[in-house]
Chain A
Amino acid sequence: MTQYDKNSRKYQDAKHEKLFKDIDENVQTIKALFRNSFDVLFQEINIVNENKLKAVIIFINGLTSKSSIESNVVKPLLAHINTTSKEALIDLLDKNELMLTDFTPCDYLDQTIEAILVGRTIILIDGCDYAFEMDTSHWKERDVTEPNAESVVRGPREGFTENMITNTALIRRKIKTPRLTFESLKIGKLTQTQVIIASIEGVTNNNLIKEMKIRLSRIDTDSVLDAGYIEQFIEDEPFSLFPTVGFSEKPDVIASKLLEGRIALIVDGSPDVLSVPHLFIETIQSSEDYYTRPWYASFIRLLRLLSLIIVLYFPSVYIAAQTYHQEMLPTQLFITMAASKEGVPFPAVIELLIMSVLFEILKEAGVRMPKPIGLAVNIVGALVLGEAAVEAGLVSSPIVMITALAGIAGFTIYPLNDSITFLRFAFIILGAVSGLFGITIGSIFVLIHLVSIRSFGAPYMSPLAPRNKNGLIDSIIRGPLWMMNHRPRAIGWKNNRKQRIHKLKYKK
C-alpha cells in the first residue's frame, strides 16, 4: 500500500491516515516512506519483562541533538519503563507527566513524517495507534553576524540567519508587544518551506494581510529555496524593472518597516526577509539615516539621489552631447574631448557600451570568484581595462572615467542598481540614436511606468506622487525625528499619528 511500486514508476507520499496499533507495521511503513535512507534512525527500546513494552524512537541524524534525545526522551522513558504497564505508560505520556517540553501526540502518518523531517523525535509505543512527537531539533547553522550586503557605520549590526526561529526571535527582541503576530504557512510541495507572515495588529491594514494570504495560497510550486522565490511569485509587477517587494537582512530595518504598517515575510532557510509594500523611495533610504542627525542624513540621501541620476544619465547624456548637442559643452571641455577621441576606431557609443559591459563583467567576476584569485582580478581590471585600453587607443579616457564613475555611483544605491542596469543601457542607446530627445522620452516612459504601478495597493511613487505632505519629510531629505509624526499614508491607512513629541523646554 505505501511501497514504492517499481513497475508502475509512481511513488506515493504519506497519506493522511492514522497510524497502526502494531508497532512493527508502523516502523515498516515509515521506513518504506523514507526509502530506507541511512540517516533516519530507528532506536528500539525493548523491555523484556512481563509488560512486554516495546517502544521505538525515530529521528533523523543531523537534524536532532543526540544528547537532547538521550536526556529528554530516553532517560525519562527508561526511568518509568520498568514500573508501568503499557497502558499506564501511554496514559503517562498522554498526560505528559514526564514534564517534557513541546511534547504532543501525533495521530496521522503524514503528520509523523513531517515531524521527523523538521527534526522532532517520534516515540512509538506498541499497541498505541498514535505517536508522540517532541522537539529536539538542533543543527549547525551560521551565527548571527553582520550581513555583508548591508553594512552600516552606526546602528545594530545583527543580521538574520537561515533559521526562521532565530529570525523571529531577533524581531521579537526589537518589538516587544503581544500585537506582533506571526502566522505560519507552508509553501512548496517538495521543500515544504515555512513562510511566516509578521505583522503588528492595529498598525497594519487587515486587507493587506488578507491579500498576502491570498497570494501566498496561490503559489503552487515544487521548491521554494529562498525568499527570492516567494518574492517573484507574489509581486505585483513581474515584468517591471523595479522591485515592488523589498528585502533586508537586518532586524532593525524590518522592525521599522513593521512599525510603519508593512508586513514582513520570513522564509525558512533564507536570511533575506521580505517586506511589503515596497516603495520607490525606500531604495534611497538606509537604516543608518535614522540613527544619525538629520543634516548629514539628508545630505547623504540627496547624494544617493544624485548617484541615481548619475548612473542613469551621465553616460547617456555624455553620448548625446558628444554626438548631437556639441553646443552644450563648454569649449575647453569640448576640445579636450575631441582631442581624446582622435585615433579611436569605434564610434563613441560602441566604446561606451563595450566599457560598460566590461565593467559589469568585472563586477560579476568580483562576486563569483574564489577569494585567493581576488587580488589578481583587481589588478587586471584596473590596469588592463583602464590604462592599457586607453594607451592602446581602443577607448578614450573620458569614456573610461565615465564608466567608472557611473559604476561607483551605482554601488551607493545597491539594491536598485541591479534593476536599473538594463535601463542604463537602454538610455545609452536612446541617447546615441536620438540625442537628448530620446533620453527625455525614455525617461518619461519610465516615469509613467513608475507612477502607475502599485505595490500591494500602495502607489509606488508615494510620497512624491501622489504627494503626501507628511510623507515628504522622510523622502528625499530626512527631516528631524520629532517632525515625523505620521505613518506613511499609502501604507498605514489607519492609526496615522505615531508619536507626539512635546517641545523640549528647560525649566529656568
Chain B
Amino acid sequence: MAKKLMKLIALFVIISLTGCWDKKELDEIAILSGVGIDQTEDEKLSLTMQVVLHRDMKIQAQSGLRGEDRPTQNIIVEGDSLIDANRNFSLQSGRKGFWSHVGTFVIGEELAKAGIGDIIDVLERDHEIRRRTYLLVTRSKARDIMDANVINLEAIQSYNFNDMVETYRTNAKTISIDLQKYITMMSEKNASAFMTGINFINDPEKTTKCNALELRDTGIFKNHKLIGWFDVMQTRGLLWTRGEVEECIVKVEYPYAESCVFIEIYRAGSKIKPVIEDNKIKIVVELSAQGKVAQSNPKTDLTKAETIEKLNEASAKTIKEEALKAIKKGQELRADVFGFGDSVYRKYPETWESIKDNWDDVFRTITIEVNTKVTLKRTGLITNCLKD
C-alpha cells in the first residue's frame, strides 16, 4: 500500500512540476478588443491593436466616474503577415495579444483593394479567433477609425462597433457580416462577398465631440479584393434581394412625389427562382414584405380600402426600384453577391456546369425580374392625420 501511495505521489509531483505548458496567466496577456488592418507603403501589414486597459475599467467601475480617457489604447505594429505582426506586438506591449475577445476587424481600403486573402486565411486557421467577429471595411485608414471617437455607450470602442453592426436589424441600411459568413460566401473561385462599411461622417457639422463615425456603404469584394461600394440605398436593395431585411422604414411617394407616406416594414422575405426561357436564364426575384403605416400625410385617406391597396402597390414599386438599383450596381461590378449563381446551381446543376466559368459575364447581361408584394396590415393608433 505504501508503494502504491508513493507511486501516486510521484505521478502527482511529475505532473505538477512539468505541466502547465499552455498556462496563460491573466497578467501575461493583453486583451484585444479590436484590430484594424492596413497596408503600409512598402506593402507590409500595419495592425492597429486596441488593447483593453482593464485596470482603468475597474477603477472607472468602482469610482463611478467616466473620465475623458477611454479604457483602451491603440498600439500600432507592422509585420509581413498577420501572425508576424501579432508577435511584434509583444515587443511593444510586453504581453502577448489575446484574440479571443476581439469584437471587430476593421480593414482599410488600400489593403482591401490589394487583397485580403492572406489575412482571411490566417483568421480561418488560427483557433484563438472566433468566427463570430464582425468584419468592417472603411474608405479611410483603419488606424484612423480605431482612433476616432464613438459615442461611449460601451466603454470599449470596438464593442460599440459590434452594437452598431447589429442594428442592421432595425434600419436595413447596413449589413452585418461575420467572419464565418464571409468565408462561406467566398468558398469558391471567383466568388463575391460584401462587407459592412464604416466611415467618417462626411459633414463636419454633423459630428460632435464624441461621435465621428457611422456605418455607411457596403464594400463589395471579389476574390478577396475590394472592387466597389454600394451606397446606402443599394445596400438596402441588396438586403431586400437576399431576404435579410428585418425592419426598416420605406419612404413611399404617395399620392404624388411631394407628399410621402412612410411605411414601417417589420417582416420581409425573398425567393430567388431561376427560370430557363428560350435557352436563356432568367432570374425571378420575388420579394414580399409586411408593414404598417408609420407616418401619413393629409392627402391620404387611410380609412378607405383602396387607399391601402394603392399604398401597397406604391410601396411595392419603391421596394422593387431599390432592389433593382442594387442588382444593377452588382451587375456593373460583376459581383454576384445576391446568391443568384447559387440558386441556378441548386435548380439547374447541369446548366450551371456549363456556365459557371463565365458566370461573371453571364450575370452581367442576365435579365432579372423583380416581383414585389407588400401587405400593409395596420395603421397605428390613429387612422387619418389632420387634414389641412
> Do A and B actually bind?
yes
Binding site for B on A (CB under 8 A): 239, 322-324, 326-327, 331, 334-343, 347-348, 429, 432-435, 438
Binary interface profile of B, 174-198, with partner A (CB < 8 Å = 1, else 0)?
0000000000000000000000000
Contact A334 B101 (CB under 8 A): yes
Residue B3 interfacial (CB < 8 Å): no
Q: Which of B19, B23, B61, B130 is most buried by chain A, counting CB atoms within 10 A of its CB?
A: B23
Report if A429-B16 is in contact (Cβ < 8 Å); known contacts: A338-B54, A342-B55.
Answer: yes
Contact B20 A433 (CB under 8 A): yes
Q: A429 to B16: give the CA distance in the assembly, Å.
A: 8
Q: A473 to B128: give the CA distance in the assembly, Å.
A: 44
Q: A391 to B75: give the CA distance in the assembly, Å.
A: 32
Q: Which of A335, A341, A438 is most buried by chain B, counting CB atoms within 10 A of its CB?
A: A335
Residue B65 interfacial (CB < 8 Å): no
Report if A327-B128 is in contact (Cβ < 8 Å); known contacts: A347-B25, A433-B16.
Answer: yes
Partner of B130 from the list A327, A334, A337, A348 (CB cut-off 8 Å) is A327
Contact A339 B57 (CB under 8 A): yes
Report if A433-B15 is in contact (Cβ < 8 Å); known contacts: A326-B29, A335-B52, A342-B54.
Answer: yes
Report if A341-B20 is in contact (Cβ < 8 Å); known contacts: A327-B130, A335-B52, A335-B57.
Answer: no
Contact B98 A335 (CB under 8 A): no
Give the distance to chain B from A360, nearest Cβ to Cβ, in Å. 20
Partner of A323 from the list B23, B61, B159 (CB cut-off 8 Å) is B23
| B contact residues around A432 at 8 Å (CB) | 20
Residue B26 interfacial (CB < 8 Å): yes
| B contact residues around A340 at 8 Å (CB) | 58
| B contact residues around A429 at 8 Å (CB) | 16
Q: A322 to B100: give the CA distance in the assembly, Å.
A: 13
Give the distance to chain B from A268, nearest Cβ to Cβ, in Å. 32
Report if A348-B20 is in contact (Cβ < 8 Å); known contacts: A335-B57, A338-B54, A339-B54.
Answer: no
| A contact residues around B101 at 8 Å (CB) | 327, 331, 334-335
Report if A324-B26 is in contact (Cβ < 8 Å); known contacts: A340-B58, A429-B16.
Answer: no
| B contact residues around A433 at 8 Å (CB) | 15-16, 19-20
DSSP class of A's interface residues: helix, strand, loop or mixed?
helix
Residue B22 interfacial (CB < 8 Å): yes
Contact B16 A334 (CB under 8 A): no
Binary interface profile of B, 29-64, with partner A (CB < 8 Å = 1, else 0)?
101000000000000000000001011011001000
Report if A336-B25 is in contact (Cβ < 8 Å); known contacts: A326-B100, A327-B100.
Answer: no
| B contact residues around A338 at 8 Å (CB) | 26, 31, 52, 54
Contact B24 A324 (CB under 8 A): yes
| A contact residues around B103 at 8 Å (CB) | 331
Contact A434 B19 (CB under 8 A): yes
Residue B27 interfacial (CB < 8 Å): yes
Given contact pairs A327-B130, A338-B54, enumerate 16 new A-B contacts (beta carbons under 8 Å): A239-B1, A322-B26, A323-B23, A324-B23, A331-B101, A334-B101, A335-B31, A336-B58, A338-B26, A339-B54, A339-B57, A343-B55, A348-B26, A433-B16, A434-B20, A435-B22
Q: A335 to B159: give the CA distance in the assembly, Å.
A: 13
Q: Which of A334, A337, A435 is most buried by chain B, counting CB atoms within 10 A of its CB?
A: A334
Partner of B58 from the list A239, A322, A339 (CB cut-off 8 Å) is A339
Give the distance to chain A from B96, nearest Cβ to Cβ, in Å. 11
Q: Determine the interface band of chain B, counting residues with CB < 8 A from chain A.
A: 20 to 34
Binding site for A on B (CB under 8 A): 1, 15-16, 19-20, 22-27, 29, 31, 52, 54-55, 57-58, 61, 98, 100-101, 103, 128, 130, 156, 159
Give the distance to chain A from B64, nearest Cβ to Cβ, in Å. 15
- What residue in chain B is nearest A343 (Cβ atoms)? B55
Give the distance to chain B from A251, nearest Cβ to Cβ, in Å. 38
Give the distance to chain B from A325, nearest Cβ to Cβ, in Å. 9
Report if A326-B25 is in contact (Cβ < 8 Å); known contacts: A331-B101, A339-B58, A433-B15.
Answer: no
Contact B16 A342 (CB under 8 A): no
| A contact residues around B156 at 8 Å (CB) | 335
Give the distance to chain A from B163, nearest Cβ to Cβ, in Å. 13
Complex A-B: 21 CB contacts under 8 Å = A323-B23, A323-B26, A324-B23, A326-B24, A326-B100, A327-B101, A327-B130, A331-B103, A331-B159, A335-B54, A335-B57, A335-B156, A336-B58, A338-B54, A339-B58, A342-B27, A347-B25, A348-B25, A433-B19, A435-B22, A438-B15
Contact B25 A323 (CB under 8 A): yes
Give the distance to chain A from B189, nearest Cβ to Cβ, in Å. 32
Q: A432 to B20: give the CA distance in the assembly, Å.
A: 7
Q: A343 to B59: give the CA distance in the assembly, Å.
A: 13
Q: A343 to B58: give the CA distance in the assembly, Å.
A: 12
Q: A326 to B98: give the CA distance in the assembly, Å.
A: 9
Give the distance to chain A from B95, nearest Cβ to Cβ, in Å. 11
- What residue in chain A is nearest B102 (Cβ atoms)? A331
Q: A438 to B18: give the CA distance in the assembly, Å.
A: 14
| B contact residues around A334 at 8 Å (CB) | 31, 101
Partner of A341 from the list B16, B24, B27, B130 (CB cut-off 8 Å) is B27
Q: A435 to B19: give the CA distance in the assembly, Å.
A: 10
| A contact residues around B26 at 8 Å (CB) | 322-323, 326, 337-338, 341, 348
- What residue in chain A is nearest B5 (Cβ atoms)? A239
Partner of B22 from the list A324, A337, A343 (CB cut-off 8 Å) is A324
Give the distance to chain B from A351, nearest Cβ to Cβ, in Å. 11
Q: A474 to B20: give the CA distance in the assembly, Å.
A: 42
| B contact residues around A337 at 8 Å (CB) | 26
Give the distance to chain B from A273, nearest Cβ to Cβ, in Å. 30
Give the distance to chain B from A446, nearest Cβ to Cβ, in Å. 14
| B contact residues around A327 at 8 Å (CB) | 100-101, 128, 130
Give the distance to chain B from A209, nearest Cβ to Cβ, in Å. 30
| B contact residues around A341 at 8 Å (CB) | 26-27
